[in-house]
Amino acid sequence: MEIINKNYELEKLNTIYDMYFNENTLFFDIECTGLSPRKSFIYLIGYATRKGSTVTITQLLAKNETEEIEIITEFENVIEHYDNLLGFNSTRFDESFIVERCRKYNFITKIKSKHHIDMYLRSTKARCLLDLPNYKQKTIEEFLGLHRDDKYNGGELIPVYQHYSLTGDEESKNLILLHNFEDVKGMIFITDILAYPELLTTDLRYLNHSIENSKLRFEIEIDLELPNQISKQRDYGLYIVRNNRIYVTLNLFDGELYTFLPDFKNYYYLINEDIIIPKAIGESMDKSCRRPAKRSDCKIKKEGQFLALPEKLDIGTIRTFKPSYEAKEAYVDIADITPTLLVKICRYMLKH
């Protein structure tokens, strides 16, 4: 077994790094001779640790299958000192592969006792925000602006490793190490992608709003800083997330709408006059002139300026207005707009 160490300095530190890649976290990535842990073996484990802004990437390289247990044992000794593991597609592949190989050696691994975050699974939670063709590591690296020196994938390097194992060829060894090093360093780089799923649950703080030309614009502050700007257009408005701000523009409607009373059972509808009156007043009227009011009858007309709402948004007890009872679209009077409502709309827009 050979152990290779390389250090480098993080160019920037931010909230996401501190949340996910702190000094109690171990990044890791394995290389193996195939996809089946029963027919293949692990020949390289790369992992990264952090002290302040210094990152150390360590690679455990097995010359052949007989050294596999050595690199697994060394890796187990290392993870004993960390509570958190971080990887890419690592719960479904890397962890499962290690568990199965340990079973072969009757070796009890500690890996399942660790808090393990899979960046692939976590990043897919942000599909509603990101328009990526897929969530492979290289796709995310390209989205975030990382360009690799390594041009191979793990499958293409299997024969390269086999050649190295048989001959000790240094060029083959360097290709293997470079690929794994770039994978681990790339994982650290794309930790930034986790800012997007965090955006869905982070605290949103209202800053201000204004109304102009039938548009309502408001600004929200967040504790995160996104690496890349994102924006989404909806029927009722749009949002732009840039750095640690969310800028939202919503459509306003000028005209006449109706609000519908919830206690319709307490009213009669006067057939000839197209109005409703309380039952206490209508009891004395001719029954041919009145009938029990329906939900659609109990409406109050209002003319003014209204804010269009996202469909199915729960706004609590605020009055809503509609062009008709059957209409799906709903509005609120601009006089009823509050910072709390705008924060709710913003969060809804991010998630849908």
- The C-alpha atoms of residue 62 and residue 74 are separated, in whole angstroms, by 11
> What was the pLDDT predicted at 149?
62
> What was the pLDDT predicted at 167?
95
- The C-alpha atoms of residue 204 and residue 247 are separated, in whole angstroms, by 12
Please compute the mean of the pLDDT values over residues 269-278 and round it to a whole number: 86
Residues 6+ apart with CB under 8 A from 140: 123, 132, 190, 193
- Judged against a pLDDT cut of 60, whether residue 223 lies above it is answered with yes
pLDDT band for position 279 (cuts 50, 70, 90): confident
> What was the pLDDT predicted at 151?
63
Q: Domain spanning 2-196: which superfamily?
A: Ribonuclease H-like superfamily/Ribonuclease H (3.30.420.10)
pLDDT band for position 255 (cuts 50, 70, 90): very high
Residues 6+ apart with CB under 8 A from 35: none
Please compute the mean of the pLDDT values over residues 314-322 and round it to a whole number: 90
Domain with CATH 3.30.420.10 in the chain: 2-196
> What was the pLDDT predicted at 119?
95
Task: Return the closest-CA partner of residue 230 out of 212, 214, 243, 217.
Answer: 243
- Judged against a pLDDT cut of 60, whether residue 211 lies above it is answered with yes
- The C-alpha atoms of residue 181 and residue 46 are separated, in whole angstroms, by 7
- Judged against a pLDDT cut of 60, whether residue 150 lies above it is answered with no
- Judged against a pLDDT cut of 80, whether residue 125 lies above it is answered with yes
Please compute the mean of the pLDDT values over residues 140-153 and round it to a whole number: 77
- Judged against a pLDDT cut of 60, whether residue 308 lies above it is answered with yes
Please compute the mean of the pLDDT values over residues 98-106 and round it to a whole number: 94
Please compute the mean of the pLDDT values over residues 281-304 and round it to a whole number: 87
In what order do the strands lie in the sheet containing 290-292? 275-278, 267-270, 290-292
Please compute the mean of the pLDDT values over residues 244-268 and round it to a whole number: 92
Tokens of 207: 């800053």
> What was the pLDDT predicted at 280?
84
Name which of 5-19, 81-95, 200-214, 218-232 the model is least confident about.
5-19
Name which of 168-172, 223-227, 246-250, 268-272 the model is least confident about.
268-272
pTM attached to this predicted model: 0.84
> What was the pLDDT predicted at 29?
95
Please compute the mean of the pLDDT values over residues 36-46 and round it to a whole number: 95
pLDDT band for position 217 (cuts 50, 70, 90): very high
- The C-alpha atoms of residue 229 and residue 227 are separated, in whole angstroms, by 7
Residues 6+ apart with CB under 8 A from 182: 148, 149, 150
> What was the pLDDT predicted at 116?
97
> What was the pLDDT predicted at 138?
83
- Judged against a pLDDT cut of 60, whether residue 163 lies above it is answered with yes
> What was the pLDDT predicted at 22?
93
pLDDT band for position 226 (cuts 50, 70, 90): very high
- The C-alpha atoms of residue 4 and residue 154 are separated, in whole angstroms, by 19
- Compute the residue count for the chain: 352
> What was the pLDDT predicted at 277?
85
pLDDT band for position 230 (cuts 50, 70, 90): very high
Please compute the mean of the pLDDT values over residues 243-262 and round it to a whole number: 94
- Judged against a pLDDT cut of 80, whether residue 153 lies above it is answered with no
Query: Residue 215 CA to chain centroid, in angstroms?
Result: 29
> What was the pLDDT predicted at 174?
94
Please compute the mean of the pLDDT values over residues 129-154 and round it to a whole number: 82
- Judged against a pLDDT cut of 60, whether residue 348 lies above it is answered with yes
